[in-house]
Amino acid sequence: MGELVRFSLDGEIGVITIDNPPVNALSPGVPEGIGTLIEQACRNDSVRAIVVIGAGRTFIAGADIKEFGKITAGQRPRLTLHPLLNAIENSPKPVVMAIHGTAFGGGLEVAMSGHYRVAAQDAQVGQPEVKLGIIPGAAGTQRLPRLAGVARAVEMCAFGEPVSATVAFADGIVDRIIDGDLLAGAVAFAREIAGIAPPKPSERTGKLGDAAANAPLFASARERARKTKRGWMAPLAAIDAVEAATTLSFAEGCAKEADLFQQCLFSDQSKALIHAFFGERAVNKIPGIPKETSTLPIRRAAVVGAGTMGGGIAMNYANAGIPVVLKETAQEALDRGMATIRRNYANSVKNGRFSQAVMDKRLALITPQLTYDGFENADIIAEAVFEGMALKKEVFAELDKIAKPDAILASNTSTLDIDEIARTTSRPHMVIGHHYFSPANVMRLLEIVRGAETSNEVIATSMALAKKLNKVGVLVGNCRGFAGNRMLGPYGREAQFLVEEGAPVDAVDRALYEFGMAMGPLAMNDLAGLDVGWRIRKEYQHLEKPGLRQPRVADRLCELGRYGQKTGAGYYKYDENRKASPDPEVTAIIEEVAKEQGIVRREIDAGEIVERTIYALVNEGAKILEEGIALRAVDLDIIYLTGYGFPAFRGGPMWYASTVGLAKVHERICSFHGIHGEKWEPAPLLARLAAQGKTFEDFDKEKSA
Ligand code: 3HC
Ligand code: NAI
């Protein structure tokens, strides 16, 4: 490995280049290297000004996130970049930071300690620490309001979204945008300002505002954080830290920031969010399918079925610039599908997410039709017709005749056997499951279901395609419900059992909402439509073991035509604005079901509701891992975080179980097994890990060893 940081001279301008691929993180050696070279440059009489720049694809993308776990485990001393930042700011020779790529977190903090910043047109700057459950820890909350004002600083530090170089320039974070070669532009800038006494960002106070002006700004940011980041501690801590910049001296503000940073770093939330950060990247690594595996080009796509899912899938392709033909059976269904697509795009334009021109361009990429015309040119065909094996087989047999030999045939089935579908074609190696989540154009998860014969090339292409479509692709094996929905089965089952046993419908939902789930399970069923599960249960009824308790409430509601939101009634009743309220009629139905089954109703607290439902997820997850349906426990976490509204700050169900302690989780599951019977049979993997005092992370490590 070459030097992490190096020095060169361009005339009388010293150039410090950071070279720590892939993203120039501030790993051990990097801050020290920059500090040493700044000091040497200050002593070097031939240097009049200094430029700091990143080699490769970016300026510094932040602290090295891998180091945080070592710090909280006590293996590394606490991180401080302050000596480096002070050395830079106190340099008697002006320091110009030259930014390209992503100056994020500690990267932006280093940049803000310089006297000037110049940036490439397409650079971004941001303080995304909150996404990792921490706050900026190197004076970001103190220097950013001084450079950009309080409103921008709160926005960036508390909500974590980056801003473009153009915005950064307009707000005073960046002093000049450089067209063309960044280094040449930065050196030219350095020559212009060499000799002028360097201005210190920490000494600026002009943009800090006054208490009266700032109060409503902080109040509304706190309200927004509580609403949009429900249960997260870091966004509120970040707001506190920025507020400190407006009430305390720079040094005192930095001390306050350091306190808050430590509290966040050592929290379970930060550990969970860091797990999720690396998890999202880990799911791309598939044993047996190396990174170099060849992939097929995806230049043209086709979709069968323009219903709820097909329309969203077509949008995904169009959003990525891939032209797509969308086929329906009847004009009316096609018109309905296209109207939904148009409405979704129009809403995005209305909300300012993109312009009308972008909408028009995307719409133009979607060709609605009633025939298979053009399918022969498609590199990928996504099937999203009604869920039913006979229909899927018919469609795939048809596609087999039309598609070119190297076209990928992807089914969006949520439960059916991919191999059985694949066998109806002459090319099962080209068949795969691409299981999107509703709404398909919004939800980030793409469960990629590998059939017994799916080729490595098709898997690698699917993983790469997921990235291109801005999704998180997770590879799973073929079984009923695959990974996500299979785990959801026991979770939903327990939610129903709990209401039969005495918990009010809204109490079950509230307990899980307060745990952090985006929605309670019963409200979620109402949203998705209770009839979907009802139809599946009827189809699979022959597989039920006689005498084994089954949840009965949902079926009873469906028999009464209560399919959920779409019929104005399900577990709840809905007004014309789809606002839910508890329904005494449902309580009566539940009591009747309980009576028929001889269930003695009792009071059930929120703790039991959470344990019964979440541990049901975990136990099924452990069985899925044992069977090899998921590659790693972290894959299940990412599935739940990106597809099922599991709270990110809890790291996913498997991670959460490990934080509770697998011995405790196992003990509770054994107790539920004793009370509620064989559906709670503890997964042997869970029993083993619990007995060994291990976590699911240990299991992932065992597997990768
Ligand atoms: N530390 C350690 N590793 C990092 C890293 C970081 N800050 N940022 C990225 N990486 C690693 C990734 O894990 C990945 O590793 P892999 O190839 O082994 O899986 C590799 O770099 C490439 O990352 P991506 O696949 O994410 O590459 P992209 O090009 O898609 O994205 C990025 C690049 C925008 C920089 C994105 O990686 C990112 O957002 N990184 C995190 C940035 C961040 O959160 N910075 C703040 C850190 S906390 C901090 O600075 C605290 C400070 O206030 C004291
Ligand atoms: P939907 O009922 O909204 O849409 C299905 C569409 O397919 C209908 O418009 C129908 O006219 C059309 N269709 C039927 N046969 C066709 C054919 N031969 N050619 C062209 N079009 C045809 O159904 P939805 O919800 O979109 O589901 C589609 C698939 O996606 C199913 O397999 C389902 O299990 C799966 N899925 C559904 C999710 C959801 O939340 N709705 C989530 C994930 C997967």
Q: What is the Cα–Cα distance from 369 to 392, expressed in whole angstroms?
A: 19
| Ligand of minimum distance to the alpha carbon of 382 | 2
Identify whether 611 is a catalytic site residue. no
Q: What is the pLDDT of residue 541?
A: 81
Cβ neighbors of 626 (< 8 A, separation 6 or more) are 683, 684, 685
Q: Calculate the average pLDDT of the chain.
A: 96
Q: Classify residue 278: in a domain, yes or no.
A: no
Over residues 146-161, mean pLDDT? 98
CA 160 to chain centre: 13
Q: Residues 653, 618: one domain?
A: yes
Band of pLDDT at residue 705, cut at 50, 70 and 90: confident
Q: Residues 442, 504: one domain?
A: no
Q: Please tell me the total count of domains within the chain.
A: 3
Residue type, 700: D
- The finding on whether 167 has its CB within 6 A of some atom of ligand 1 is no
Q: Residues 255, 382: one domain?
A: no
Q: Residues 407, 444: one domain?
A: yes
Q: Residues 261, 197: one domain?
A: yes
Q: Classify residue 206: in a domain, yes or no.
A: yes
Q: What is the pLDDT of residue 216?
A: 97
Over residues 297-309, mean pLDDT? 97
Cβ neighbors of 529 (< 8 A, separation 6 or more) are 563, 564, 565, 566
Domain boundary, last residue among 476, 503, 534: 476
Catalytic member of 12, 39, 67, 129: 129
Q: In the beta sheet, which residues pair with residue 7?
A: 16
Domain boundary, last residue among 458, 476, 494: 476
Each residue of 366-422: pLDDT tens digit?
Answer: 999 999 999 999 999 999 999 889 999 999 999 999 999 999 999 999 999 999 999
Q: Classify residue 275: in a domain, yes or no.
A: no
Q: Classify residue 279: in a domain, yes or no.
A: no
Q: Classify residue 322: in a domain, yes or no.
A: yes
Q: Residues 257, 310: one domain?
A: no
Over residues 227-236, mean pLDDT? 97
Q: Residues 315, 445: one domain?
A: yes
Q: Residues 357, 425: one domain?
A: yes
Using the mean position of ligand 2's atoms as its centre, give its distance from the Cα of residue 635 in Å: 26
Q: What is the Cα–Cα distance from 199 to 180, expressed in whole angstroms?
A: 26
Q: Residues 421, 497: one domain?
A: no
Band of pLDDT at residue 545, cut at 50, 70 and 90: confident
- The finding on whether 124 has its CB within 6 A of some atom of ligand 1 is no
Q: Classify residue 273: in a domain, yes or no.
A: no
| Domain around 120 | 5-266
Q: Residues 433, 540: one domain?
A: no
* Confidence check: pLDDT of 1 > 60: no
* Half-sphere exposure at residue 296, Cβ-oriented, CA atoms within 13 angstroms: 21
Q: Classify residue 699: in a domain, yes or no.
A: yes
Each residue of 649-701: pLDDT tens digit?
Answer: 999 999 999 999 999 999 999 999 999 999 999 999 999 999 999 999 999 99
Domain boundary, last residue among 428, 451, 476: 476
Whether the CB-CB separation of 434 and 242 falls below 8 Å is answered with no
What does the block give as tokens for 411?
A: 């089914």
Q: What is the Cα–Cα distance from 475 to 450, expressed in whole angstroms?
A: 7
Each residue of 476-525: pLDDT tens digit?
Answer: 999 999 999 999 999 999 999 999 999 999 999 999 999 999 999 999 99
* Confidence check: pLDDT of 39 > 90: yes
Q: Residues 369, 415: one domain?
A: yes
Best mutation site among 309, 335, 476, 539 for ligand 2, i.e. most ligand atoms within 8 A of its Cβ? 309
Using the mean position of ligand 2's atoms as its centre, give its distance from the Cα of residue 307 in Å: 5
Over residues 160-180, mean pLDDT? 98
DSSP state of 414: S
Q: What is the pLDDT of residue 2?
A: 67
The H-or-E segment that residue 125 falls in is: strand 124-126
- The finding on whether 305 has its CB within 6 A of some atom of ligand 2 is yes
Residue type, 180: G
Q: Classify residue 69: in a domain, yes or no.
A: yes
Using the mean position of ligand 2's atoms as its centre, give its distance from the Cα of residue 417 in Å: 16
What does the block give as tokens for 140?
A: 């970001």
| Ligand of minimum distance to the alpha carbon of 566 | 2
Measured from the CA of 57, which atom of ligand 1 is nearest?
29
Q: Residues 431, 527: one domain?
A: no
At residue 316, what are phi and psi to the nearest 5 degrees?
A: -55, -45
Cβ neighbors of 535 (< 8 A, separation 6 or more) are 387
Residue 256: CATH number of its domain: 3.90.226.10
Each residue of 593-625: pLDDT tens digit?
Answer: 999 999 999 999 999 999 999 999 999 999 999
